[in-house]
């Protein structure tokens, strides 16, 4: 009789797809999942940002490609890239987004369309492309990084608030559709987070949340058993909205 090996089979790494992973919340998410020895698939509009991300992490565990998710061609490029990987996503984070200030009555004519393309349609079309494989796998978790603007309007919020309200609606609809499929869905609605979008404004740093806190919250929500889902998460700076 041949001796049986006591060695455990190597664990299979899990894949997290994070859109817009080169800065802000997206970058914090990439770092957080890499700490757990996950694989990451991400994209950005610039190869420079992707190269910097890979250099900071030593390139280990990161699969990336240039893709502009504000248009269907970019969404197709990224979804095809993810589908070419030898792993089905365990986690899908719709993080990419854009904020352009302005009021509904005075903002540029195409401002709603510009932000709708990035903030809503990217999540909608990418979900349609990638979630079927997650369903076939029988498990997974989708995170929609929305905004406190998904719940309230505010001056100069204009079309941004419209698109973020719509993104929350997408998250709620996906939640209902995917309940029996083993796929959890969570909407994350942070207030002001200290990212580049606030550069140049004279606001004290302590008025902002840290991107790492948002990433840690998402990781914690994922880490619950598959019998529990946190449907919606609201995070605000301790000192209130900016």
Over residues 80-104, the mean pLDDT reads 96
The boundaries of the domain holding residue 218 are 15-235
Task: Characterize the bridge pairing of strands 39-44 and 15-19.
Answer: parallel
pLDDT, averaged across the chain? 92
Structure tokens at 237: 């700076």
- Each residue of 169-196: pLDDT tens digit? 999 999 999 999 999 999 999 999 977 6
Is the distance from CB of 61 to CB of 34 less than 8 angstroms?
yes
| DSSP-derived secondary structure letter, 86 | S
Residue 207: the pLDDT is 86
Express each pLDDT in 14-68 by its tens digit. Answer: 999 999 999 999 999 999 999 999 999 999 999 999 999 999 988 789 999 999 9
Average pLDDT over residues 85-102: 96
Kind and range of the H or E run holding 91:
strand 89-94
For residues 96 and 143, is the Cβ–Cβ distance under 8 A?
Answer: no
pLDDT at residue 97, rounded to an integer: 94
Structure tokens at 165: 């309200």
Q: Look at residue 113 and tell me if it is in a domain.
A: yes
pTM for this prediction = 0.92
- Cβ(192)–Cβ(208) under 8 Å? yes
Of residues 139, 146, 56, the one with CA closest to residue 96: 146
pLDDT band at 197 (very low <50, low <70, confident <90, very high): low
Residue 9's pLDDT band, with cuts at 50, 70 and 90, is very low
Position 21 scores a pLDDT of: 95
- Positive or negative: CA dihedral 34, 222, 14, 84: negative
Is residue 30 situated within a structural domain? Answer: yes
Q: What proportion of the chain, given as a percentage, has pLDDT over 90?
A: 84
pLDDT in tens, 210-219: 999 999 999 9
In eight-state DSSP terms, residue 38 is -
| 1 within a domain of the structure (yes/no) | no
Judge whether 3 lies within some domain: no
Instruction: Look at residue 187 and tell me if it is in a domain.
Output: yes
pLDDT of the residue at 124: 98
The pLDDT value recorded for residue 1 is 40
- For 5, the 3-state DSSP assignment is coil
CATH number at residue 144: 3.40.50.720
Residues in the chain, how many? 242
- DSSP for residue 8: P
Q: What residues have CB less than 8 Å from 181, skipping those under 6 apart?
A: 135, 138
C-beta separation of 24 from 196 below 8 A: yes
Q: Is the pLDDT at 201 greater than 70, yes or no?
A: no
Residue 5 lies in a domain: no
Instruction: State the DSSP string of 104-157.
Output: TTTS-TTHHHHHHIIIIIHHHHHHHHHHHHHHHHT-EEEEEE--GGGT---TT-
* Sign, CA torsion 42/44/47/52: negative
Residue 75 belongs to a domain: yes
Give the chain's domain count.
1
pLDDT in tens, 145-158: 999 999 999 888 99
Q: How far apart are CA 238 and CA 189, in angstroms?
A: 15
Q: Are 28 and 214 in contact (CB under 8 A)?
A: yes
For residue 123, tell me if it sits in a domain. yes
In the prediction, which pLDDT does 4 show? 47
Q: Where does the pLDDT of residue 139 fall: very low under 50, low under 70, confident under 90, or very high at 90 and above?
A: very high
pLDDT confidence bin for 231, thresholds 50/70/90: very high
More confident residue, 12 or 171: 171
């Amino acid at each position: 009789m041949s001796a049986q090996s006591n060695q455990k089979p190597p664990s299979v790494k899990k894949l997290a797809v994070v859109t817009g992973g080169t800065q802000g919340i997206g970058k914090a998410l990439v770092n957080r999942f890499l700490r757990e020895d996950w694989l990451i698939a991400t994209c950005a509009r610039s190869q420079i940002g992707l190269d910097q991300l890979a250099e900071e992490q030593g390139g280990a565990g990161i699969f990336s490609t240039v893709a502009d998710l504000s248009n269907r061609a970019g969404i197709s490029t990224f979804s095809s890239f993810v589908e070419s990987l030898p792993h089905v996503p365990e986690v899908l984070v719709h993080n990419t987004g854009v904020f352009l200030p302005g009021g509904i009555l005075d903002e540029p004519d195409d401002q709603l369309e510009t932000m709708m393309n990035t903030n809503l349609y990217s999540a909608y079309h990418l979900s349609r492309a990638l979630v079927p494989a997650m369903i076939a796998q029988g498990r997974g978790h989708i995170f929609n990084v929305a905004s406190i603007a998904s719940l309230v309007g505010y001056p100069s919020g204009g079309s941004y608030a419209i698109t973020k309200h719509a993104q929350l609606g997408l998250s709620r609809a996906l939640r209902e559709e995917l309940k029996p499929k083993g796929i959890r869905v969570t909407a994350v609605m942070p207030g002001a987070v200290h990212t580049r979008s606030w550069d140049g404004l004279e606001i004290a740093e302590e008025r902002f949340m840290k991107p790492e806190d948002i990433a840690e919250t998402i990781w914690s929500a994922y880490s619950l058993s598959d019998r529990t889902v946190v449907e919606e998460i609201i995070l605000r700076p301790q000192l209130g909205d900016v």
